[in-house]
Amino acid sequence: MTRQPLVARRAEELLGSSVVATAPVAGGDIATATRLRLSDGTTALMKTLPHAPADFFAEEAAGLRWLAEATDRGGAHVPDVLGVDHECVIVRWVEPGKSNVDAAAALGRELATTHAAGAPSFGLDRDGFIGRLPLPNRPTDTWAEFYAVRRVLPYLKLARDRGAVTPEEAATIEALVPRLPGLVPEEPPARLHGDLWNGNVIWGLDGHAWLIDPASYGGHREADLAMLALFGLPHLPRVLDAYTETAPLAEGWEDRAALHQIFPLLVHACHFGGGYGARAAELAGRYA
């Protein structure tokens, strides 16, 4: 590791500790990631984005801290937040290792515990971000309403405005909305990660699975599980088995996974275009 003076100086101002070395980290789609070694022996990850939207990193830090409240009670592991300002966040470094069935089973149990920590409502008292996009979180009384008006419809409109869904595909998705109350079982709001795809799970060298980059809010726990399944996760069947052994899910949850995958597919359609919008419409059509 060498030392990038500008990055090091910014980190030192936030942490009050000397940075002795820095190194770039590959893989960030939005922010620039840098590994830091501090004079006290701590290793950290710093994410920076010049001219970031207001509260962009503050919301990430708040989400990590909210999830961390459940960690002491056996919930999922998340990295400690060491510092944050309007253009960066610094978290404790997680040394990557390899996935294994034991860590997968532990993740299933821990995620169930995090979800069970609950939330005051469906939504959150502030809006957030998912990727670069704003994430509306104003609470509603039911999950079906929240999923419709805060998740599916806003991103469907944006995807349509960006040409990422056709009018026919949009109509198929819109037709699903009035049917949501009869499709999703009622449950209290769970404490969700909110953006729980494979890339936001680090299999640590310490044997734990760590969750990063949340878009947290109070929601239906099946939404996190559906996103894990959407883009694949090593040992996913073991994660789900351990989850359901810890906190059984309502009958038919496997069949509802596609329902909860429509939202992340629309987010991807907004970000990347491609076939994500068509895939969302195909899944919505299953419930016609």
Q: How many domains does the chain have?
A: 2
d(CA 131, CA 214): 10
- pTM for the model stands at 0.95
List beta partners, residue 81: 91
Query: Based on the domain organization, do 64 and 197 belong to the same domain?
Result: no
For the chain, the average pLDDT equals 96
> Is the predicted pLDDT of residue 39 greater than 70, yes or no?
yes
**Strand stretches in 49-135, DSSP E:** 81-85, 88-92, 128-130, 133-135
Query: Annotated catalytic residue: which of 29, 102, 195, 206?
Result: 195
Instruction: Name the residue range of residue 183's domain.
Output: 101-285
Using one digit for the tens of pLDDT, what is the confidence trace for 168-210? 999 999 999 999 999 999 999 999 999 999 999 999 999 999 9
> Is the predicted pLDDT of residue 1 greater than 80, yes or no?
no
Using one digit for the tens of pLDDT, what is the confidence trace for 99-150? 999 999 999 999 999 999 999 999 999 999 999 999 999 999 999 999 999 9
Query: Based on the domain organization, do 65 and 132 belong to the same domain?
Result: no
The confidence score (pLDDT) of residue 288 equals 83
Q: Is 195 a residue of the active site? A: yes
For residue 215, the domain's CATH number is: 3.90.1200.10
For residue 28, the domain's CATH number is: 3.30.200.20
CB 22 within 8 A of CB 8: yes
Query: Based on the domain organization, do 44 and 160 belong to the same domain?
Result: no
Using one digit for the tens of pLDDT, what is the confidence trace for 141-161? 999 999 999 999 999 999 999
User: Of 92, 119, 148, which one is at a domain's C-terminal end?
Assistant: 92
